[in-house]
Amino acid sequence: MAGSLADAQAVTKAAKTHLSFHSVQMESPPLVMAAASVLKELCYKNKDELQAGFITAGWDMKKGPQVYIVSLGGMLISQPVTIGGSGSTFIYGYVDAKYKPNMTREECLQFATNALALAMGRDNVSGGVAHLVVITKKGVEHVVVPGNKLPRFHDE
């Protein structure tokens, strides 16, 4: 999430509630696109009152791995890779140069860790710990990289 933390938390809470009802009605977990669409609708309908954007990523049986970004105004875009938040402005060049399709799990973790470390090194409101999530057909894995284990690219 990006933007106002209070707005993002409120939208996330409303989206979780909506998606819980959706799961009951459909008798299955929601598709990734459904989750992204719920966030889009909430952001768009409240665009004059909210300052929140989201990255929605996941894996489902219909489309496999997916990444969507919901902009501050509620626009929904599907992308192979995306970044967001205050530190993202510092790493667009890195992401453009280093991202490649079909990376291995280890390559993805290194790519994400390096991107976060670079952003945290330049952005005064990012930082401390890198929380990574690996989403595959097999499930969700949380990976935490403590600050003292993050790569250093320049003197901080």
Residue 155 pLDDT: 64
Residue 41 pLDDT: 96
Helix (H) or strand (E) holding 93: helix 92-98
63 has pLDDT over 70: yes
Q: DSSP label at 85?
A: S
pLDDT per residue as tens digits for the range 4-56:
889 999 999 999 999 999 999 999 999 999 999 999 999 999 999 989 999 99
Sequence-distant (≥ 6) Cβ neighbours of residue 111 within 8 angstroms: 98, 99, 103
Secondary structure of 99-125 in HEC code, one letter for each residue:
CCCCCCHHHHHHHHHHHHHHHHHHCCC
144 has pLDDT over 90: yes
CA distance 15 to 37: 10
Residue 154 pLDDT: 74
CA distance 31 to 7: 24
pLDDT category, 126, cuts 50, 70, 90? confident
Geometric angle at alpha carbon 129, from 57 and 74, rounded to 5°: 35
Residue 123 pLDDT: 87
Percent of the chain with pLDDT over 90: 83
152 has pLDDT over 60: yes
